[in-house]
Amino acid sequence: MHLVTAEEMRRLDRITIERLGIPAVALMENAGRAIAEEIIAFCNHRDGDGAAGDACQGTGAARYSSGPGHAGARAAGAAREEAAVPGAGTAESFGAVRTAAPKLLISGDAALMAGRAEDEHWLVLVGKGNNGGDGLVAARHLSEAGIAVSLLYAVSPESLTGEAAQQRDAAAAMGLPAAVYGGGRPDFAGYSGILDALLGTGAAGAPRGAYAELIAAANRSGKPVASADIPSGLNADTGETHEPCIQAALTVCLAFLKRGLLQYPGAGHAGRIVVRSIGIPSGLAREEGLSAYWLTPAVLEDVLGVDVSRRRAPDGHKGTYGHVLIAAGSLRMSGAGLIAARASLRTGCGLATWAVPGKLLPLLVGAAPELMLADAGGEADGTWNAAAAEEVLKLAGKKDVLAVGPGIGRFGDDKAWLQTIWEGADCPLVVDADALNILAECDYGTWQGRRTPVILTPHPGEMARLVGVSTKEVQRDRIGLALSYARERGVILVLKGAHTVIASPDGRLVVNTTGHPGMATGGSGDCLTGIIAGLLAQGLSGFQAAVFGVYLHGLAGERAALLRGDPVSVIASDIIEAL
Ligand SMILES: NC(=O)C1=CN([C@@H]2O[C@H](COP(=O)(O)OP(=O)(O)OC[C@H]3O[C@@H](n4cnc5c(N)ncnc54)[C@H](O)[C@@H]3O)[C@@H](O)[C@H]2O)[C@H](O)CC1
Ligand SMILES: [K+]
């Protein structure tokens, strides 16, 4: 599924209206109706209303009696009623016992059928822009479904223009009760829900004046809030939340998923996200060259060309699936190398060799029978040194991928060590952990260019060192930073953290949402490094391996949590076993 910025959304909207000739008011009508349908489904689900609730879950029409008990539906004037046509043959006339088969089915808009409409009274907070316009359309459809609706304008309705003004007039013509916020602390206790149609992709900066007051009041009310397009107060591009920002139970995102809904803290304000089509052709995004995606199996297969089935050739052998070399571990952190190496095997590479400082090697014999160990030289105390880089290059000569960094620690002339490996390794290179901290101290843009991909896998702190900013600054706009860094440096960047971002030098970007906070545990990153290396060894491209690796890592973490019964108790070895 595509991810868009506010500006990209406006561009796609403009193309739809100007090039395809689909009127803006039609898009807004579709948007408002979609919002109303999702609010009705929310109400039906919340009220546990069986018949109508079921009916509204899907797009199919409801099948139910239109007898008493469905006031809402009657009010909706849209119902599917089964009626026998008078005079048609009945069971008795043919002597067989048969119920009268209905001859006439009148289906209706099940998604606009509210089970207990009479119990609902929704307040629509209306901004002055098109987000407000969407809310006004939704208000009409909610009213049609028999739900009581009241409008509260943030600013004078006279200040609305264009399609929003049209919707203002339509709502007034329908007699929807309306008021203008006049300051103070409004009391929303009498409502069953609030539709936040204050600010959408046209917002700039922190909510001001009445908008801020109404957002705060909605959050204080304790009522469920549904947000039109994005929670008001959220930065649609970065996921930053201004003060105040709506805390939504449901966000009905229009046309395309906004980037800010998938990055924290914004992702924590959206509640359940539903992306609804409003008539903008989904193919436009690809035609316009948009290349940011929320990672789904379809994106893996259709956009990245990854064979998620990971089928194996019947005549495959160890050589078919590649050989991983991991240069990792040191006296105090040998486990990191073991985790990375084992993860690469679990990911399906044919062979894995773990290169360690010679002093450690005897201590590691048998640590993992499937692994091969290699003496990479190093110091007598089991630490790495610059000369060991040449040993690593010799070992890498016949390997399909080299991963460096897990548990290597910092050592004298470690920058020379990394530069030798960076410039000398012909196979794809995965750089993680302390190798990233070393890289951060190097002007590696001056190093000899590489012909095969480099994948960097920093967590936010390591990224902060790579870029020379604070971790807070890294987290402010993860997607924007990852994209610019990958492009400028010509590397594939995996910016780890909640909803990991993977960016490619060619501008492609993917946000992954598999995994859980229990994976924030020592060795989890080493495991990811091994997974990515294991996929590279099997012939995936750099970006494919980085994206699929992050995806699999998260899925394995989820599976490990199920196996452990609790995400909290998951450790890196569990993730490996769950691959
Ligand atoms: N673009 C599309 O494809 C479609 C968009 N739709 C909806 O329209 C909004 C975007 O509408 P827009 O008019 O551009 O902006 P907003 O409605 O978000 O209004 C902003 C409005 O509020 C004022 N304002 C801006 N920032 C602040 C602030 N920090 N504090 C207070 N006030 C602020 C400013 O004056 C603006 O006029 C989009 O989200 C969709 O909901 C339709 O769905 C159709 C397709
Ligand atoms: K909104």
Q: Is 200 in the pocket of ligand 1 (CB under 6 A)?
A: yes
| Percentage, residues of the chain above pLDDT 70 | 91
Is the confidence at residue 387, as pLDDT, over 50?
A: yes
Burial degree of 52 (CB within 10 A; 0-12, 13-18, 19+): buried
For residue 18, report the phi and psi dihedrals to the nearest 5 degrees: -85, -40
Asked whether the beta carbons of 107 and 80 are under 8 A apart, the reply is yes
Lowest mean pLDDT among 88-92, 237-241, 456-460, 565-569: 88-92
Q: Is 204 in the pocket of ligand 1 (CB under 6 A)?
A: yes
274 pairs with which residues across the strands?
252
Tell me the DSSP string of 332-373. Answer: S-HHHHHHHHHHHHHTT-SEEEEEE-GGGHHHHTTSSTT-EE
Give me the mean pLDDT over the 523-533 stretch. 96
Is the confidence at residue 42, as pLDDT, over 90?
A: yes
Is the confidence at residue 65, as pLDDT, over 50?
A: no
Interface predicted TM-score (ipTM)? 0.94
Residue 479, pLDDT score: 97
DSSP secondary structure letter of residue 159: G
Position in ligand 1 atom list of the atom nearest CA 31? 43
Lowest mean pLDDT among 48-52, 294-298, 404-408, 439-443: 48-52
Residue 74, pLDDT score: 39
As a whole number of angstroms, the distance between CA 161 and CA 142 comes to 23
- State the SS3 of 176-225: CCEEECCCCCCCCCCCCEEEEECCCCCCCCCCCHHHHHHHHHHHHHCCCE
Residue 505's SS3 state is: coil
Is the confidence at residue 91, as pLDDT, over 80?
A: no
As a whole number of angstroms, the distance between CA 308 and CA 345 comes to 17
Q: Is 530 in the pocket of ligand 1 (CB under 6 A)?
A: no
Is the confidence at residue 71, as pLDDT, over 90?
A: no
Residue 169, pLDDT score: 98
- Tokens in use for 133? 């316009």
For residue 340, report the phi and psi dihedrals to the nearest 5 degrees: -65, -45
Lowest mean pLDDT among 104-118, 485-499, 520-534: 104-118
Q: Is 211 annotated as a binding residue?
A: yes
As a whole number of angstroms, the distance between CA 442 and CA 109 comes to 63
As a whole number of angstroms, the distance between CA 19 and CA 394 comes to 59
Is the confidence at residue 69, as pLDDT, over 60?
A: no
Is the confidence at residue 170, as pLDDT, over 90?
A: yes
Q: Is 204 annotated as a binding residue?
A: yes
- Tokens in use for 116? 């207990």
Q: Is 407 annotated as a binding residue?
A: yes
Where residue 108 falls among pLDDT bands split at 50, 70, 90?
Answer: confident
Residue 90, pLDDT score: 44
Q: Is 506 annotated as a binding residue?
A: no
* pTM above threshold 0.95: no
As a whole number of angstroms, the distance between CA 273 and CA 293 comes to 15
Kind plus residue range of the DSSP H or E element containing 254: strand 250-254
Sign of the C-alpha dihedral, residues 292, 298, 302, 307?
positive
Higher pLDDT, 99 or 459: 459
Atom 44, ligand 1: which residue's CA is nearest? 28
Where residue 66 falls among pLDDT bands split at 50, 70, 90?
Answer: very low
- Tokens in use for 247? 């805390």
Is the confidence at residue 26, as pLDDT, over 60?
A: yes
Angle at 222 between CA 218 and CA 224, to 5 degrees: 75
Asked whether the beta carbons of 108 and 56 are under 8 A apart, the reply is no
Higher pLDDT, 542 or 89: 542
For residue 226, report the phi and psi dihedrals to the nearest 5 degrees: -105, 130
Give me the mean pLDDT over the 49-67 stretch. 37
Residue 313, pLDDT score: 74
Q: Is 14 in the pocket of ligand 1 (CB under 6 A)?
A: no
Angle at 442 between CA 441 and CA 444, to 5 degrees: 145
Give me the mean pLDDT over the 498-505 stretch. 97
Where residue 72 falls among pLDDT bands split at 50, 70, 90?
Answer: very low
Q: Give the distance (Å) from ligand 1 centre to CA of residue 318.
A: 57
Q: Give the distance (Å) from ligand 2 centre to CA of residue 293.
A: 22
Q: Is 518 annotated as a binding residue?
A: no
What is the rounded average pLDDT for all residues in the chain? 90
Give me the mean pLDDT over the 114-120 stretch. 92
Is the confidence at residue 125, as pLDDT, over 50?
A: yes
Q: Is 531 in the pocket of ligand 1 (CB under 6 A)?
A: no
Atom 1, ligand 1: which residue's CA is nearest? 10
As a whole number of angstroms, the distance between CA 419 and CA 444 comes to 8
| Backbone φ/ψ region at 348: left (φ over 0), alpha (ψ -120 to 50), beta | left
Where residue 49 falls among pLDDT bands split at 50, 70, 90?
Answer: low
Atom 36, ligand 1: which residue's CA is nearest? 129
Q: Which residues have a beta carbon within 5 Å of ligand 2, which is an ion?
A: 131, 196, 227-228, 232
Lowest mean pLDDT among 44-58, 80-94, 170-184, 225-239: 80-94
Q: Give the distance (Å) from ligand 1 centre to CA of residue 201.
A: 5
Is the confidence at residue 532, as pLDDT, over 60?
A: yes
| Percentage, residues of the chain above pLDDT 90 | 82
Lowest mean pLDDT among 35-39, 177-181, 237-241, 318-322: 318-322
Domains of the chain: 3-93+116-290 (3.40.50.10260), 302-309+317-577 (3.40.1190.20)
Where residue 77 falls among pLDDT bands split at 50, 70, 90?
Answer: very low
Position in ligand 1 atom list of the atom nearest CA 32? 43
Q: What is the pLDDT of residues 423-454, one digit of tens each?
A: 999 999 999 999 999 999 999 999 999 999 99
Asked if the peptide bond before residue 244 counts as cis, ω within 30 degrees of 0, the response is: yes
- List of E strands, 367-459: 372-375, 401-404, 429-431, 454-456
Give me the mean pLDDT over the 23-42 stretch. 98
Residue 204's SS3 state is: coil
Q: Look up residue 294 and give its amino acid.
A: W
Give me the mean pLDDT over the 239-257 stretch. 98
Strands 501-503 and 509-511: antiparallel
Where residue 311 falls among pLDDT bands split at 50, 70, 90?
Answer: confident
Asked whether the beta carbons of 362 and 389 are under 8 A apart, the reply is no
Is the confidence at residue 51, as pLDDT, over 60?
A: no
